[in-house]
């Protein structure tokens, strides 16, 4: 049986109750909130292991709740959205969501996503001894989620950190956008791959001109690589 606590956030109490029944049947404890402000309060009080977070919420919407939680926690977040547009998916991933499920959904799919995300987090924690790579004027420490440029820490969102660490840990290896979505975001991404381009663009803004010994390079028609020069 599974263990841990899941915070369910949705203004539709029927959906909350349905999810609660299935999730508790899988062996999890649950907590619930029906608006954005309550979600933040319950998050602090319940200290959940994962959050199912609806986007269309009263008080604060799911985007705002996700932003606030990411300021203080790496707790996994699965977004629940009735919107299927690519824009919504890209925005959710950029804000630090770990996965998303589009309504209407099968409860079995939600359970499968919860288990998959928690497995990934467990593997990350098991291997989190000290995950650090260093190059000229650059240190990427994934254990502490710290990016240092010329010895100075630069504020970097979690997915940007994971992306640059993944690339820099495999210097000179070319990754397609789909590979990066699968290996960094860790799930099958439905829609286009603009989110990778957005994250690379933001990383380049932080790393521009830092060193002539390495570069975050576009391989046209293929993807990206962290190129290290001899």
Q: Return the CATH number at 52.
A: 3.40.50.2300
User: Is the model more confident about 3 or about 180?
Assistant: 180
Q: With beta carbons less than 8 A apart as the criterion, state whether 58 and 36 touch.
A: yes
Q: Which string of DSSP letters, residue by residue, matches 45-63?
A: HH--SEEEEESS-SSS-HH
51-60 pLDDT, tens per residue?
A: 999 998 999 9
Q: What is the pLDDT at residue 87? A: 57
Q: What is the pTM (predicted TM-score) of this model?
A: 0.59
Select from 126, 160, 195 the last residue of a domain: 126
Q: With beta carbons less than 8 A apart as the criterion, state whether 167 and 204 touch.
A: no
**Which residue range is the domain that position 61 belongs to?**
5-126
Main-chain dihedrals φ then ψ at residue 215, nearest 5 degrees: -155, 150
User: What's the rounded Cα separation, in Å, for the pair 49 and 6?
Assistant: 6
**112 and 194 share one domain:** no
Q: What is the pLDDT at residue 184? A: 83
62-101 pLDDT, tens per residue?
A: 999 999 999 888 899 998 887 665 556 677 777 788 888 8
**Which pair of structure tokens corresponds to residue 169?**
């840990």
Three-state DSSP at 178 gives helix
CATH label of the domain that carries residue 191: 1.10.10.10
Select from 78, 98, 126 the last residue of a domain: 126
Select from 86, 111, 126 the last residue of a domain: 126
Percentage of the chain exceeding pLDDT 90: 52
The DSSP secondary-structure symbol of 182 reads I
**115 and 219 share one domain:** no
């Amino acid at each position: 049986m599974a263990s841990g606590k899941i915070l369910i956030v949705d203004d539709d109490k029927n959906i909350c109750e349905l999810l609660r029944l299935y999730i508790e049947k899988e062996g999890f404890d649950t907590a619930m909130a029906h608006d954005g402000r309550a979600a933040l309060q319950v998050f602090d009080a319940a200290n959940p292991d994962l959050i199912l977070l609806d986007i269309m919420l009263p008080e604060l919407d799911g985007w705002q709740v996700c932003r606030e939680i990411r300021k203080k926690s790496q707790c996994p977040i699965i977004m629940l959205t009735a919107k299927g547009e690519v824009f919504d998916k890209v925005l959710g991933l950029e804000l630090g969501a770990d996965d998303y499920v589009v309504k209407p959904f099968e409860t079995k799919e939600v359970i499968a996503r919860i288990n998959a995300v928690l497995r990934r987090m467990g593997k990350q924690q098991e291997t989190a001894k000290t995950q650090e790579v260093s190059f000229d004027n650059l240190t990427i420490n994934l254990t502490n989620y710290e990016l240092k440029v010329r010895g100075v820490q630069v504020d970097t969102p979690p997915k940007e950190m994971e992306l640059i660490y993944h690339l820099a840990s495999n210097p000179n290896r070319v990754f397609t956008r789909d590979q990066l979505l699968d290996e960094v975001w860790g799930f099958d991404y439905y829609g286009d791959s603009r989110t990778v381009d957005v994250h690379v663009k933001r990383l380049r803004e932080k790393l521009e001109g830092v060193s002539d010994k390495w570069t975050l390079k576009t391989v046209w028609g293929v993807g990206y690589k962290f190129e290290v020069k001899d």
